[in-house]
Structure 1
Amino acid sequence: MRPTTFYNFFNPEAPPQIVNIRTDHGGLQLRDLMRQWPVKKVLTSRDIHYSQVVMPRDQVEDYILPQLLPNEQNSVNRGEQLPITVRDLDTLTEYRLCLWENGSSYVLTSGWSSSFVRRRALEIGEEVGFCWDPRLRLLRFSVLSRPPVSPPRE
């Protein structure tokens, strides 16, 4: 439990109260509020070693493209790179990447390696999630699971 100050904004004359917030398992994370990550991806060697992440075509077409403006959809469908903002919900940082169609899949490029792979130390086998935020017009990103670390051999 972590003591946290609670202010009652409905009654400004009420004194602040100290409330204990449960912090087991790291407490409630912002990414947990999303509840659903419609585009999920287990990272492969291609996603880690090249400067792009390949996203599942059907998931992008079902959950991201319909949220884009018509001219943005047309741009992506013509094979052009569409600059979009990607917000990392784990670190609350934003980056400009490009979304484009690459034949049988969709790809995020232009900074994937430097903005995410190196900075977040992403590895093969980790699962990441993407979700389009129509209100902010950006793509949300989070690392959903990391493989357990095996203890060093003696």
Structure 2
Amino acid sequence: MEAEIIQQVQAQAEDLADHWRIKKVLKQSDVDSSSRLLIGRQQVFTHITPFFTNNPSEFCHNIEGIRVTVFDVDTLTEHVFTLKKWKTNSFVLLNNWKSNFVSRRRLKKNDEIELRWDVNASRLEFTVLERHQN
């Protein structure tokens, strides 16, 4: 019986680890004065839009974008951003990205972060996976 419980716990831990779907190595433009995080269109369509709409091509067409809460799982803090689609069809998180994450978490170019959509809380979750060593 104990072996079955251990296997179930291991399987659940693997599922949770694999649940971090959007991985990104930060570029200079993600940490400079642009104050926005660029997220690839395919990543948004695959890992975020299914929770909003059945038609990803219609997601986020309004010029203001949509408000999303981002929960920093490392520091247990919540921040509200705007997820907006650019003309290039990429997506950006706007509104205080630099102060709420870059400065506060001391993010640098080449740090690797991860994002996932938390279905139960209806928010994005954020974590720093690896810090780049200079």
TM-score grouping bracket, smaller chain normalisation: 0.7 to 0.9
Q: Secondary structure in 2 aligned to 1:125?
A: coil
Give, as a single letter, the amino acid of the residue that structure 2 aligns with 1:76.
Answer: C
Q: For the residues of structure 1 that align with 2:77 and 2:15, how far apart are their CA atoms?
A: 17
Is this contact kept in 2: 1:41–1:56, CA < 8 A? no
- Say whether residues 1:97 and 2:97 are aligned partners: no
For 1:2-151, what aligned pairs fall within 5 Å after superposition? Answer: 34-36=16-18, 37-49=20-32, 50-68=34-52, 74=58, 76-102=60-86, 103-149=88-134
With a CA cutoff of 8 Å and minimum separation of 6, indicate the structure with the bigger relative contact order: 2
Question: Displacement, 1:55?
Answer: 0.5
Give, as a single letter, the amino acid of the residue that structure 1 aligns with 2:128.
Answer: V
Tell me the C-alpha RMSD between the 2 structures.
2.3
Is this contact kept in 2: 1:54–1:108, CA < 8 A? yes
Question: Displacement, 1:74?
Answer: 4.5
List alignment gaps of at least 5 residues for structure 2: 1-13
Moved over 3 A (4+): none
Give, as a single letter, the amino acid of the residue that structure 2 aligns with 1:144.
Answer: L
Q: Secondary structure in 2 aligned to 1:76?
A: coil
Question: Displacement, 1:33?
Answer: 7.8
Q: For the residues of structure 2 that align with 1:34 and 1:108, how far apart are their CA atoms?
A: 24
Is this contact kept in 1: 2:37–2:92, CA < 8 A? yes
Identity of aligned residues (%): 34
Is this contact kept in 1: 2:112–2:128, CA < 8 A? yes
Q: For the residues of structure 2 that align with 1:57 and 1:92, how far apart are their CA atoms?
A: 27
Give, as a single letter, the amino acid of the residue that structure 1 aligns with 2:127.
Answer: S
Q: For the residues of structure 1 that align with 2:95 and 2:15, how far apart are their CA atoms?
A: 28
Q: For the residues of structure 1 that align with 2:77 and 2:90, how far apart are their CA atoms?
A: 26
Q: Computing the radius of gyration over CA atoms, which structure comes out larger, 1 or 2? A: 1
Is this contact kept in 2: 1:75–1:82, CA < 8 A? no
Give, as a single letter, the amino acid of the residue that structure 1 aligns with 2:67.
Answer: P
List alignment gaps of at least 5 residues for structure 1: 1-31, 150-154
Q: Secondary structure in 1 aligned to 2:115?
A: strand
Q: Deviations 1:57-77 (Å, cap 9, x if unpaired)?
A: 11111010111257xx85613
